[in-house]
Structure 1
Amino acid sequence: MLITLVIGLCALAFAQDKVTIVHWQHHYPAREAVVKQLITEFEQLHPNVTIDFQSIPYGEYFQKIGPSLEAGTGPDVFQLPGPQVYEFYARDQLTPVPDDVYTAAEIEADFVPWTVELLKQDGGYVGLPTDVQLFLLFYNDALFEAAGLDPTKDFASLDELEAAARQLTVKTGGRLSQAGISLTYSPYQWYWNYLTTLHDAGSVDEATLEVTYDDAAGIDFWRWFTGLITNDGVDDPEFLTGQDKFAVGLAAMDLHEFTYAGNLAQLNPDMTYSVHLPPPAPGRPEGTAGTHWAYVVSSQSDKATAAWEWVKFLTSEEAQRQWVADGGELPSRVALYDDAELRSDPNAAVALDAMSTAVPYDAIGWDDVYGIQQGIWENIVLRGDTVESAVAAGAAAEEALYQEKQR
C-alpha cells in the first residue's frame, strides 16, 4: 500500500522537472528490499523523480564512498554510521537539512532525542536516523529454567549476571558444552555498550578527544568483562569457534542489537527466548546504549532539496513501520512508541521502553575504532596481556586516531 503522506500529496517544486537522485548504501538484504519498495512508492507519487539505487557490499562501501566524494562523483544520498557523521561534516562533504524541507524544531519534536544527537552540527541537522538498534540481553528461556533460574527476571547488577552465567555454564568431561554467555563470537556489543554508559560523557570526551575508559571504572569493567572468560570460564574461544552459540542453543545469554531477533527467527525459529535490559555498571543508572546510521545528502549534490525530500520520505512515520516490520530495526519517531501493533510483541515492547533512556554509542569513528577496542579484548583474552597494559595501549591508539582526524 502506498504511503499516504502530505509530502506525497503536495506538488513539490523539485518534481516539476526530471530529477534523478543517486542513492548508495551498504548492502543488507532485508534493508535493500525495503528501500526498493519505498522507491516504487516515492516514484509513483513523483513521476518526474527517479531514484538510482545501489546496494554496495559492506566490505567495499567505505572504500567507494570516500574516494567518490573526494573526486566529485559521489551519490546525492548515502548512509553513514551516526558516529561518523561528524567526520564527513568536518570535511565539508554534507549539506544540512533545509528549513523548507524539515526545520530543526520539527526534527527535535518528531525523533527520539538520542537518535538525532550525533546528527546535529553547528545548530543544524545534517542527517536523519535509520537502522536504529539497542544493545539488549537475550535469554534462552529453556536453558534458564533448566538451571533453576527465572527467565522473566532482569539482572540488577553485573555481579548478578556473572553469578547466573556461571550457573548456566555446563561442562562435559571437563570441556565446555554450554556457554553461560556467548562472548567470543561477537564481543563488541559488550564494550560498545558499557564504555558508552560507564560515564556521563560517554566513551570519549569531545572537548579533549580523550577516551574515558582508561580510568579506574574503565579498568574495572575490562577486568570484569574479560574475566568472564579468563576467570569464570563461562565461554571459551575454542568452543564452537566462529559459530553463533546462542542461535544454535548452546549459549544461555547473548548481548546483541535488537535486530538479532530477526536472525533468530531464521536460524532457530523454535527457540523460546526473551529480551531484557542489560544490568548497569556499578553506580550507574539503568539504561543501555544504541547505534544508528543516518541518511545524509552530499554537499556536492545539485539537487539537495529533492534529495532531502527523499530522505524525509525514507524516515517518515509510515516508512518506519516498514523498516520495523521488514528491515529489523527500531523506530526513531516518537509517535510510534505507544503503537499497539508494535507493542504486541513483548520483546519489542522491552526495546521500545528502553529507547527513552538510551544513549548513543559515541566513538568518533566506526570500523577504525572497532579495530582498536577489539584489539584490547583480544590482547587480554587471547594473548594474555594484563588488563592495565592492554587498556593503556588501546586508549593511546584511539586518542592518536582522534588527533589525526582533527588535522
Structure 2
Amino acid sequence: MKKALLVLSVLILGVLAACSSNSSEDGDNATIKYAYWDKNQEQMLKDLVEEFNKEYPDIKVNLELTPYDQYFTKLDAAATGDGLPDVFWMNGPNFVKYASNNMIEPIDERIKEDSVDLAPYPEGLLGLYQYDGKSYALPKDYDTIGLWYNKALFDEADLEYPNDTWTWDDLLEAAKALTDEEKGVHGIAAYIQDAQASYYNTILANDGFIISEDKKESGFDDPKTIEGLQLYHDLIHVHGVSPTHAQMETTTATSMFESGKVAMMFQASYMIPQFKSNEYTLENVDVTVLPIMNKRSNVIHGLGNVIASNSDNKDAAWKFVKFLSSEKAATMQAEAGIIPAYEGTQKAWVEATPEFNLQAFLDMAEVSEPYPVSKDTSKWATIIQDNIAKAWTGQLTVEEASEIINEEMERILANE
C-alpha cells in the first residue's frame, strides 16, 4: 500500500512538473526586465504594468530606469555580456546596429501567429523598425513635425493664419510680410540645429531623400535633395526672412520664437510641453501642417518596444510587448500626454491641450517618412550636420556641401 502511494505521489509530482514546465514555456511564472529612459513616464509605465498584470498576474515586470545620456552605453555593455533587459525602448538612430548584430529578436512570426493587426500604426513608423525584410519592434509612440506660428504677429500684419492649403510660396510670402527689421522680428527661422525638425523635411517634401531604403546610398547627389536644402538655405541668404546661423547659435531659434522675435518655425511635437509651459507661447502661438512643396511630407520618429534576442523569457516578453502596443495601453499613454502610435486613441492626447491644434501632428503622420538611419547613423549624421553648418555660414555653397556629404556618406555606408 505504501509502495502504491509512493508511485502515485511520484506520478502526481511529474504531472505538476510538466504543467509548470508548459506554463513557463507559455510565458507564465516569469520575471522580466523592462528598460526605459524617461523618468517623466515612470508613473504611466507603472500603471501599464498594473493593467498588464490583470491579464497576466504571474508575469512580474521589473522597471529599469536609466537616463538617456547613459542608456545606450549601458545597453551596449549589457549586450556584450549577454545581459540585456528582456524588453527595452529602442529609437531609430540605434536600431539598425542592434538588429544587424542580432541583439534584438525579429517578431514577424509572432505577429503572424497572434494575428496582430498592424493597420493602426503609421506606415512610416513601422518601416523605421524593419531591417533586412524583418520587423523588430511594435511602435510605442511617435513625433511628427508641424509649422508653428505666432498668431499675435500674424494679427499685427493683418495676415491670415497658415492652413492646409499653403504651399512653399505662401510660406515665403508670409515670411516676407512678417519680417520687421526695426522691431527685430523675423518671418521664419531656418535653423539647422535639429535636423529631424528642420531641413530633413524640406528635402523630403521636395521629393529628395537622405538615405535609400536599402541603407546603401546617400541621397545628397539627388538634384531634388539639393534643391530642398537650397530653398531652406535661401530663407536666410537670399530672402533675408530668417535670423542668420550665427544669431541662432547665440540665441536659439526656439528662444526667439518664445519671445515673439520669430513668427514661424518648423518644430516637432515633442516641443509641446515646453510651448505649453511658456506663458507667452501658450497664449500667442498655434500649429498647423507643413506647407506643400512637391508634396507634403515630414520625418516621423518614435520609440519601439523590442525583445532581447538572448532573453530567457521571450514568450513573456512578447506578451508584454504586445500589450504595450495595444489599444488599451495606447489610450493610457494618450491620457498621460504622449502621442500613442495606435490610430484612434489619440483623442485624449489632442483634448489634453486644446490651446494648440494638435490634430496637425496626427495629420502629418499620414504623410510621414521614417527617420533616416543605418548601422552607423551617428557617423554620417555628424558629417551632414558639419557640412550643412558650413553652407549656412557661407563657407560652402549648398552644392559643395552636398557633394562632400555624398562622398563621405557613401564611403561610410559601403563599409557598414
* Shared fold per TM-score greater than 0.5: yes
1:144-196 Cα distance to aligned partner (Å, 9 max, x none): 11122111534632232122222222323xxx722322333744212222333
| 1:238 corresponding residue in structure 2 | 247
Kept after mapping to 2: 8 A contact 1:138/1:255 = yes
Kept after mapping to 1: 8 A contact 2:192/2:389 = no
| 1:8 corresponding residue in structure 2 | none
CA shift for structure 1 position 49: 2.7
| 2:45 corresponding residue in structure 1 | 35
Cα distance in 2 for partners of 1:253, 1:395 equals 30
1:82-126 Cα distance to aligned partner (Å, 9 max, x none): 354333222111112264566485343342322212333455421
CA shift for structure 1 position 203: 2.4
Cα distance in 2 for partners of 1:212, 1:43 equals 47
Letter in 1 for 2:128: L
| 2:288 corresponding residue in structure 1 | 276
Kept after mapping to 2: 8 A contact 1:185/1:244 = no
**Percentage identity across paired residues of the two chains:** 23
Taking the TM superposition and a 5 Å limit, the aligned residue runs for 1:6-405 are: 14=26, 16-17=28-29, 19-25=30-36, 27-43=37-53, 45-82=55-92, 84-97=94-107, 99=109, 103=113, 106-121=116-131, 124-154=134-164, 156-172=166-182, 177-184=184-191, 186-188=193-195, 189-199=197-207, 202-207=209-214, 209-233=216-240, 234-236=242-244, 237-238=246-247, 241-242=251-252, 244-268=255-279, 270-281=282-293, 284-329=294-339, 331-336=340-345, 339=347, 342=350, 345=354, 347-364=357-374, 366-382=377-393, 384-405=395-416
1:39-94 Cα distance to aligned partner (Å, 9 max, x none): 33334554433322223222222222223212212211122223543332221111
Kept after mapping to 2: 8 A contact 1:130/1:293 = yes
Kept after mapping to 2: 8 A contact 1:204/1:212 = yes
> Alpha carbons of 1:325 and 1:177: their partners in 2 closer, same or farther (altered >3 Å)?
farther
> The residue matched to 1:254 in structure 2 has which SS?
strand
1:8-52 Cα distance to aligned partner (Å, 9 max, x none): xxx9975642x2212222x33433342233233334554433322
Cα distance in 1 for partners of 2:258, 2:189 equals 10
CA shift for structure 1 position 292: 1.7
Cα distance in 2 for partners of 1:129, 1:384 equals 41
Cα distance in 1 for partners of 2:343, 2:384 equals 32
Kept after mapping to 2: 8 A contact 1:193/1:361 = no
Kept after mapping to 2: 8 A contact 1:22/1:75 = yes
> The residue matched to 1:210 in structure 2 has which SS?
coil
> Alpha carbons of 1:58 and 1:230: their partners in 2 closer, same or farther (altered >3 Å)?
farther
Based on CA coordinates, which of the two structures has the bigger radius of gyration? 2
The structure whose residues are more often strand, as a share, is: 1
Q: Structure 1 stretch 352-361 or stretch 136-145: which is displaced more?
A: 352-361
Letter in 1 for 2:292: P
| 1:4 corresponding residue in structure 2 | none
Q: Structure 1 stretch 342-351 or stretch 268-277: which is displaced more?
A: 342-351
Gap regions ≥5 residues in structure 1: 1-10
Cα distance in 1 for partners of 2:152, 2:362 equals 24
Gap regions ≥5 residues in structure 2: 1-22
> Alpha carbons of 1:141 and 1:301: their partners in 2 closer, same or farther (altered >3 Å)?
same
| 2:11 corresponding residue in structure 1 | none
| 1:3 corresponding residue in structure 2 | none
> Alpha carbons of 1:158 and 1:244: their partners in 2 closer, same or farther (altered >3 Å)?
same
Q: Structure 1 stretch 124-133 or stretch 359-368: which is displaced more?
A: 359-368
> The residue matched to 1:79 in structure 2 has which SS?
strand
Kept after mapping to 1: 8 A contact 2:202/2:232 = no
Kept after mapping to 2: 8 A contact 1:203/1:363 = no
> Alpha carbons of 1:155 and 1:109: their partners in 2 closer, same or farther (altered >3 Å)?
closer
Q: Structure 1 stretch 299-308 or stretch 252-261: which is displaced more?
A: 252-261
> Alpha carbons of 1:272 and 1:14: their partners in 2 closer, same or farther (altered >3 Å)?
farther
Kept after mapping to 1: 8 A contact 2:226/2:402 = yes
Cα distance in 1 for partners of 2:114, 2:56 equals 25
Cα distance in 2 for partners of 1:205, 1:187 equals 21
RMSD of Structure 2 on Structure 1 (CA)? 2.9
Aligned positions, number: 385
Letter in 2 for 1:179: H
CA shift for structure 1 position 372: 2.4
